[in-house]
A and B are shown apart, each in its own frame.
Chain A
Amino acid sequence: MHRSLLSISDLSDEDISQLLELSRVFFEVNTREIPKVPALRGKTVATLFYENSTRTRLSFELAASRLSADVLTFTLASSSVSKGESLRDTAETIESLGADLIVMRHFSSGSVQLVNSWLEIPLINAGDGAHEHPTQALLDAVTLMHEFESGNRLDGLNIAIVGDILHSRVARSNVQLMTRLGATVTLVGPPALLPADLSLWPVKVSNFLDEVLPDCDVVYVLRIQTERISESVMPSLSEFSKSFALNSARLSRAKKDAVVMHPGPIIRGVEISGEVADSSQSLIRNQVENGISVRMAALYWLLGADEGRLETLW
């Protein structure tokens, strides 16, 4: 099978090291006056998003253009999907158009793995249902490594991931990567928003954020989707906020230099207060910025590295 970036679970330790190293290289490229290199000139990167996304798609498209790749954008509204075309036919059409790589997001868990089994070209999973979102986990790890100057490790960090774990691909990818890199992860949320059986996960679990906070180096806040309220998972958004929103008062219970992360988009006043999101402890904008380097690394890892294009970076 050809190489793709589908999930943290199928990356080897060596793969992870390569991606982290490449991210550093491209972080440097992004600090240049003209942050663009010819590394993937002549390559075509297609983005195939079956779910609305702003930051992830823009981040991938910007990453591709900074590597001088051409970008094909597939948007649902104007596509044949609205005419009933199957996922397989759509994916095979994009491959036939000559795309060298597809960045794909889909609302169904496992969908990207399935498409990967049909195609010859590499795929990057930009989020499949509630399953995985590996580049988000990589950019989060890079952000923490910068912040804590911890090299390629996250040893000793206590990280709480808070909110709707059940529906979160960000949580699933991050739990695996953070723990593999040495961090201790605690999942925090109401019972209805935690997966049914966490016995195989290398994590601690709590329903009480206030009890977990005092040990936290990192508070990773997830978005709460308003549709969960209509499913009666919680009586109201404010009931959720009362126990799980990260506000200044709550954050003050964490370690003094604790940092705050969020994969975006943030809903101010629901899962995180504006003061916390904008505070000096917030790494939210660093995450977005690092996302470009990490996605350049991922694209280059799949399309450039085998062809000795590294010299094209300078």
Chain B
Amino acid sequence: MVKKGFSYVIRGGTLVDAIGVRRADLLVEDGLISASAPEIDAPKRYLEIDARGLVVSPGFVDLHTHLREPGNERSETMLTGGMAGILGGYTALVAMPNTTPTIDSPEAVQYAQQIAKDAPLDIYFAGAITKGRLGGNLTEMSKMADLGIKLFTDDGSGVQDVQLMRRALEFAKGIGVTLAQHCEDLKLANGGLINEGAVSSILGVAGIPNAAEDVMVARDLELVRLVGARLHFLHISTAHSAEMVRMAKAEGLPVTAEVTPHHLVLSDSKLMGFDSVFKVNPPLRSETDRLGLWGAFRGGAFDAVATDHAPHHRDLKDTTLDEAAFGLIGLQASFGAVLGELYRQLGPGQDDSNDSPGLSDEQLAHLVSLFTWKPAGIAQIGHIHGCRLVAGNPANITIFDPQARWRLGEADLVSISKNSPYFETDLVGKVLYTLVHGDLKLKEGELCL
């Protein structure tokens, strides 16, 4: 049994971080990386992790996790969500504020932070932009910022009132925090359940048009131009929104954007059997949009892959499409799903390579950046997570086999809720070791808490 306080030598791995891709060993002790060099001759007290053929990366950072605690512990807790995160290679999660109570006051922040102390990884919280996420009055963001809250969002819905959004951006700019918008015009969404398109037309199911997202992205880009505040776009799902973000970044506007694994891997055809596990907001879009998101991915539109891990108890999913809750879980399979899809896009011939990853160093570094240092930067935790793998930095480290092919089964899930959309998906890239502040939490793919 591995306990706190052990020191490790990670041998033979390929390091990928903001410096680049290189071969090096790492020494880990007292929660920090103590050495990084091509060959390290470590004393015997260092436990060896054999990383030959594996990639050693900064620990993953999820910008978008719903942990359901406090308030809905029958769906997920910080402990179970944290364990799912460890299995998925995460060392830090940013929990969304749509809990009960809403994380919309300094008291709620302190309450949530107290619970998070027992989690197996670092949990950071996003605060709400408006009280109760009702879109009416701004929260006391500066008091919450004093408690360490750097990201604010009403995720679950967007701020509909454009004047209020302007004021929120101005206030956020003044106190140095970042707003994150769930872009959905509720009038245009009009109670829709799935993507509006060929599939919704055949099924006779109310649709959410692409325009419901696109108009709010366009609106908020104009507000950023007006105010000059930072804004992060959550879960971009349409090709057009991604293109608008890419152009805004090229223009120099201070915006960032995330994309989810499920919008990259799945499309609305999955709903042809009315399976509510695929009901998610924003909805799985058309295949055209899905491929468009990959174009944007390669073109640099995105700064993060974020799971939007949204656990729902079986009772809330095992029902009709209109009654079922929006959302699916993703922490355990996110990296495997995205890398698996990336391999599929590279086409046959890449599959049979043995030792070296099928991706170029550049592609590998880009993928890792979207799981690590870029989201850490958006969350303003880049000094703790997503750090370069060099001496002196916190030992938040993930080691994965970039070649391993696997399938996720329901029995593998450690989340309380089982609403994963990936049971039929070929996953590539298996996380084998996760170190949180120097403690080994995942060993050879098994939790060791």
Contacts and interface: CB of A to CB of B under 8 A. Distances in A.
A307 B61 CA distance: 62
Contacts of A113: 273-274
B274 A110 contact: yes
Interface stretch (A139-147, A193-201, A266-274): A193-201
A256 interface: no
A135 B201 CA distance: 21
Given A196-B196, A200-B202, 20 more contacts: A86-B315, A87-B320, A87-B323, A108-B321, A108-B323, A109-B204, A109-B274, A110-B274, A113-B273, A113-B274, A114-B319, A114-B320, A129-B322, A131-B204, A172-B202, A196-B201, A196-B207, A197-B197, A197-B200, A201-B201
Interface residues of B, number: 20
Interface string B189-220: 00000001110111111010100000000000
27 contacts: A86-B315, A86-B319, A87-B319, A87-B320, A87-B323, A106-B320, A107-B322, A108-B320, A108-B322, A109-B203, A109-B322, A110-B274, A110-B320, A114-B319, A114-B320, A129-B205, A130-B204, A132-B204, A167-B204, A168-B204, A195-B200, A195-B201, A195-B202, A196-B207, A197-B197, A199-B198, A200-B198
Contact of A109 (B197, B198, B209, B321): B321
A38 B92 CA distance: 69
A111 interface: yes
B177 to A, nearest CB: 39
Interface of A: 86-88, 106-111, 113-114, 129-132, 167-169, 172, 195-201
B274 A196 contact: no
A34 to B, nearest CB: 40
Nearest to B199: A197
B118 interface: no
Contacts of A131: 203-205
Contacts of A201: 201-202
- The secondary-structure label for the interface of chain B is loop
Nearest to A168: B204
Interface of B: 196-198, 200-205, 207, 209, 273-274, 315, 318-323
A111 B320 contact: yes
A129 B274 CA distance: 12
Given A86-B315, A108-B321, A108-B322, A130 B202 contact: no
Given A129-B205, A131-B203, A131-B204, A110 B315 contact: no
A201 B320 CA distance: 25
A59 B389 CA distance: 73
Closest 8 CB pairs of A and B: A110-B274, A130-B204, A195-B201, A108-B320, A131-B204, A197-B198, A108-B322, A111-B320
A261 to B, nearest CB: 20
A198 B204 CA distance: 12
A169 B204 CA distance: 7
Contacts of A88: 318-319
A201 B204 CA distance: 13
A211 B273 CA distance: 37
Contact of A110 (B196, B201, B203, B318): B203
B216 to A, nearest CB: 19
Contacts of A87: 319-320, 323
Contacts of A130: 204-205
B197 A196 contact: yes
A87 B317 CA distance: 12
B221 to A, nearest CB: 25
A129 B204 contact: yes
B205 A109 contact: yes
Contacts of A172: 202, 204
Nearest to B193: A109
B203 to A, nearest CB: 6
B449 to A, nearest CB: 35
A196 B192 CA distance: 13
